[in-house]
Amino acid sequence: MRQEVEKELIKLVDKVANESLEPESFAGICESIGVVRLYYDIEFDKDGFRGVGDESDISKYRYIELFNSGEESDIKKVYTYYYDGNEYVHACIEFKKGMTEEDIDKDTCSFIANVIYLIVSRHNMRNMLDYAENFDTATGLPNLKYMGEKYNRSMAHNPNAEYVVLYANVKNFKYINDRGGVYLGDSAMAKLAQIIAGFVREDEGVCRIGGDNFAFFVRRDNLDVVLEKLKSVQVSGLMGLRNGSHKFSFRVGVSDTEAKEFGTRLEEASTACIVGKTVLKKDVVVFNLELSDEISHNNLVVAAFPDALSAGEFVPFFQPKVNMQTGELLGMEALCRWIHNDSIISPADFIPLLDRKGMIHELDMAILI
């Protein structure tokens, strides 16, 4: 029997090394020792298993059946494996009806359980790596790579369809992290992601870009529906918050241009979202070339500011404050002008921007001194 077991183990290991692992991969080794059923039972906490989804999804991961001949069994052996000192995986082997304890080679069965545990662990790790290449492991949503590929497929399969690309940022998500820490933040992000995943149709897409940012592509006739839903997304089951729920909203940049390449359109949508947040103070902004010029201008101002400050290009002009009834001089108001290359730059072009960037205090000190 041991020679047959050894032969089947060699075949199994060779198959794992060179091919994908299938349920029938374990048939030979199981049949060689009278096993009718082989499965793994994994222990984990639902709240601690992120990005999987609902209870039915979790059951799929909790129980992994490797072989089942359909025959009845009288004897079951359980082999326990530990992770970080905690009982984590049970390898369960059931033997065909009629077999006795004396018929079972305990050392051989224990060895097989260990080998198969290592094989399955390696296989699962490979699956996890494949998954991580295309999906965000914290939320279960596709990542940007997969999203771009799906966009291209949808465009190819629906050449006459008109798609719009969105860049969506969760407003004030920092509040959640401040209230409940990283764990609450991760839990809220995963639950929020599962909800917004339901906003898109089969040929549309949503992905997590990173942090509290998401990207969508939707058909134009679905745009208003999605934007309306993003105004208010109720997430429940959040331990640590009053009533256990929170209402999220998004600021959204929209690319509705004729550009075909997904990366270009996402950059346009991102630009619109940034301008909406920092300049226009609007939750939904549609990209146009003027917005791109605005971003470029702002970047130039911010980049030039330190050198201009050192060079003394910011000049104070003092405007008297006078009592209009008595003519008495009450004081002076300092007004700032930026003189650059013999031209005067309007305060409206730099003061609000420096204020938003948290740099205005540097200008205040320079003018006061």
Location of structure tokens 């409206």:
348
Non-local (6+) Cβ contacts of 172 within 8 A are none
Interval 222-231 mean pLDDT: 98
What is the rounded average pLDDT of the residues 133-146?
90
What would the pLDDT profile of 306-340 be if each residue is shown by its tens digit?
999 999 999 988 888 888 888 888 888 888 899 99
Can you give the C-alpha Rg of the chain in angstroms?
A: 31
Q: Is the pLDDT of residue 108 over 90?
A: no
> Hey, what domains does the chain have and what are their CATH numbers?
1-133 (3.30.450), 144-287 (3.30.70.270), 295-368 (no CATH)
Looking at per-residue pLDDT, the higher value among 284 and 258 belongs to 284
Cα 139 from Cα 236, distance rounded (Å): 16
Backbone angles phi, psi at 141, to 5 degrees: -75, 155
pLDDT of 200 strictly over 90: yes
CB atoms within 10 A of CB 110: 14
pLDDT for res 369: 66
pTM of model > 0.85: no
